[in-house]
């Protein structure tokens, strides 16, 4: 039995793998996992969501730092940062996205504003915050996922 759990940054073409857990081959572990039955997917979703929280928090901190003192910011970009519900793709991988949704008050897509801030434009210097947030949160995310996995499996194994 193999279960893959991935967390990716999900930010455009620069998406990077934050964490991966692959469980395979161990007899005792397979027996324990078989006890989990149909709850494996739900546990994976909870684990992935727990790992996404620290990443989103670090991205938000970086965004707040970039917007500090700005007279133009109305808070739309910060408020649009969110975490999607976890899903399972056709290969059985559990995925989640962290990103910017919706439009600001002027009708500009928040994802475009975030991308312009992250990468810069011809008139705006880049002020990276997504990549830095992803890098800073890597260890916290892995720990949060491991803690959640341990908590959820312990509930079922008893």
CA distances (Å), 46 to each of 37, 55, 149, in order?
A: 16, 15, 8
Condensed to tens digits (0 to 9), the pLDDT of residues 30-67 reads: 666 677 776 888 889 999 999 999 999 999 999 999 98
Domain limits, the chain:
3-157
What is d(CA 70, CA 143) in angstroms, rounded to the nearest whole number? 34
Condensed to tens digits (0 to 9), the pLDDT of residues 85-137 reads: 999 989 888 999 999 999 988 899 999 999 999 999 999 899 999 999 999 99
Would the pTM of this model clear 0.95, i.e. be above it?
no
């Amino acid at each position: 039995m193999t279960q893959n759990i991935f967390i990716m940054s999900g930010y455009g073409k620069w998406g990077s793998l934050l964490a991966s857990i692959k469980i395979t081959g161990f007899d005792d572990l397979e027996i324990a996992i078989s006890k989990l039955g149909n709850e494996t997917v739900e546990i994976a979703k909870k684990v992935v969501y727990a790992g996404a929280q620290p990443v989103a928090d670090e991205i938000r901190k970086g965004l707040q730092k970039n917007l500090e003192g700005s007279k133009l910011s109305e808070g739309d970009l910060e408020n649009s940062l969110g975490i999607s519900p976890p899903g399972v793709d056709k290969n059985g991988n559990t995925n989640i996205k962290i990103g910017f949704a919706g439009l600001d008050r002027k009708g500009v897509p928040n994802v475009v504003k975030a991308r312009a801030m992250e990468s810069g434009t011809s008139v705006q210097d880049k002020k990276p915050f997504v990549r830095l947030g992803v890098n800073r949160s890597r260890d916290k995310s892995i720990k949060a996922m491991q803690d959640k996995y341990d908590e959820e499996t312990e509930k079922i194994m008893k």
